[in-house]
Amino acid sequence: MAARKDKTMVHILDTLTRLENKFDNMRIANATDSSSSSDFVAGTRYSSSQSSGKRNERETASGHDIPTEVRRSYQHLTVPHKVILWPCIFLHLVDSGIQAATDLQHILQEGTSWLIKQEMTKHPDPLPADSGLPSYRIGAADDGYSTRMAFPTLTLQLIDEYTNSYFNTFNVLYPILNHDAFLDDTVSRLMRDGYADGDPGAVLALMVFALGQCAKEGVFGNPIGVVDGVPSGYRGGTVERPPGIEIFNEARRRLGFVVTLCSLENVQILLLQATYLEATGRHLDFWRSTVAASMACQVLVRCHPLDWATHEGDMIKRAYWACVLSEDLYHLDLDLPQTGIHTLEDEVPLPYFQEAQDQLSGERGVDERAYFQYHFLAMIALRRLIGRIHSVIHESSSTHPESSDDYGGPPVPVITEMARQLDSWRSVLPRPLQWHDSDMLDFPISNPQARRPNELLFSPNQGSVPINYKFNLDIVTAQLRTRFYYARFMMFRPFVYKALHFPELMTAEDANYCALAIQSACLWPVSMAPPKNKKRLVPHHFMWTQNFMGILLILRMTREEGVLKQICDERVDEGSIEMTVQLMLGWIRDVRQVDGIAEWSWRILEGLFEGR
């Protein structure tokens, strides 16, 4: 079994490497200047100039001119937020009479920075530090002083429970720790010697225990509130006092003694701290912790002699790629600055998961463990294509697929090639991870024993009984599949822009791609149950909130008379659109309790969809 697993891992690493090489060799920037692309752009520009009078008539008829600030500030918004300033959506918001729409002037002036200020206002203070664990000092001589502490309420039973809870949830998504090594090398020593200041292992263990408690209560705890008769998906504790805060505070009190180290343990500690802060809705604190982890990791990779073939080398690879994945998200969706860690990606190999100790453990089967290993590797491969979609389609100065200035239309040859690459990524996934559009809500193939006949893994509602799948199966699967549909939606989104602003230029191919964009935005697994009912366990939920806002604005425009409505009426299931609206509105209605940007977004969306 272990030999077969090793061959499978070699196969997936080779496949992912081939895919990444394809991405590197695409030469997308040159493709936008190719003859086929130039012919396409030239034709649409000519038609666009002819149709400009019609477009101006539509804008004048609405009683508004598009402010020049819209065009200038458009580049200061992240891709999810750009939808707010699409001319037809901007005018629709202004015409709506919604009070919050007056804030558009601030977005025009400041861009995404204004939205981030809403998050800063929501959480002006750090998590409370006035709670902790009962403790006593151990090992002090008569005339000496000891920093070693014991926590009598943190019993062996709780340690075992919280450890298993962490490794069954958060570490499945970002496998930065080894389960057996953590127990044998860290926990056993702490139980014998106590938790001392200056001991990185003590801080790391306390972070794990805090996350374990957060994961457990995040599934089985009481909702933090009830919104419009619906229990919140944030469970355990309160908004300001999340589950595990007492243990987390003990870790924070000791972090200062080790925070300046540039060791593997230090990177892991900072990533764990970031994970806890994101689970509690502290998005900017999450960013700060991830930045610190990325900076320490860069020093570790650049300045320390490393042997990638060793177990330690493999753990560093995992920590590195966890940093890169997290940094990509907050940069793309919140425009927060990068540390530069992504510039090392050609120097750091993909992790191989050399865990001899885990292979000998009877607690975990090789196939079960391999599932989340494959998931982590697949997410790494997908991030490169998503990065290309953002940089080439949405941010390139040579194309203007979502701008009325010098409109040349979507770069069709580029999008066609990238769509082929995205489909190729899905087709070469290991069989346990594969799915088709028709079964996107089903259980993965890898776990037939866990499903009952005709039962879906994801559904709009699950009832009142909490669901906790082994190894975080639902959230792992939801993250991978939803990121795929996110990528496909972002890829084809320029055709939605074209349908709204240049309907007279739409071709049959454009209409097909526009419909694909809307279909790809519907029924995302992460917005459904079980994930929506245990949001503390959903990684980076700030990213989903930003994108839900943009999608909901677009779906609202599918109700307005025009080409987009016609395309959706003919090619997109109306029930899927309606259910998606319900799910995403429900998400933002809930998340606004802890999220400042979601709170502002809700003031816009509530008015737009009122009485729907």
DSSP string, 211-279: HHHHHHHHHHSPBS-EETTEE-S-BSS-SSS-TTHHHHHHHHHHHTTTTT--SHHHHHHHHHHHHHHHH
Is the pLDDT at 3 greater than 90? The verdict is: no
126 part of a folded domain: no
> Does 252 share its domain with 330?
yes
Is the pLDDT at 32 greater than 70? The verdict is: no
Residue 369 or 352, more confident: 352
Overall domain count for the chain: 2
Is the pLDDT at 9 greater than 70? The verdict is: no
> Does 405 share its domain with 468?
yes
> Does 60 share its domain with 177?
no
Specify the pairing of strand 136-137 against strand 149-150: antiparallel
- The predicted model gives 243-255 an average pLDDT of 97
Domain that holds residue 173: 136-364
> Does 358 share its domain with 380?
no
557 part of a folded domain: yes
| Whether 175 contacts 195, CB under 8 Å | no
Is the pLDDT at 481 greater than 90? The verdict is: yes
Please report which confidence band the pLDDT of residue 401 belongs to, taking 50, 70 and 90 as the band edges: confident
> Does 160 share its domain with 233?
yes
Domain end point (choices 337, 364, 391)? 364
Of residues 272, 265, 269, the one with CA closest to residue 255: 269
How many whole angstroms separate alpha carbon 456 and alpha carbon 81? 32
> Does 408 share its domain with 443?
yes
Of residues 332, 392, 402, the one with CA closest to residue 85: 402
Is the pLDDT at 21 greater than 70? The verdict is: no
CA angle 577, 581, 585 (to 5 degrees): 170
CA angle 582, 588, 593 (to 5 degrees): 140
329 part of a folded domain: yes
Of 33-37, 354-358, 362-366, the one with minimum mean pLDDT is 33-37
> Does 461 share its domain with 590?
yes
CA dihedral sign of residues 336, 348, 396, 513: negative
399 part of a folded domain: yes
Is the pLDDT at 52 greater than 50? The verdict is: no
Instruction: Determine how many CB atoms are found less than 10 A away from the CB of residue 612.
Output: 10
> Does 201 share its domain with 95?
no
> Does 90 share its domain with 209?
no
115 part of a folded domain: no
> Does 232 share its domain with 166?
yes
Is the pLDDT at 62 greater than 60? The verdict is: no
Please report which confidence band the pLDDT of residue 558 belongs to, taking 50, 70 and 90 as the band edges: very high
* Per-residue pLDDT at 246: 98
pTM for this one?
Answer: 0.88
> Does 378 share its domain with 360?
no
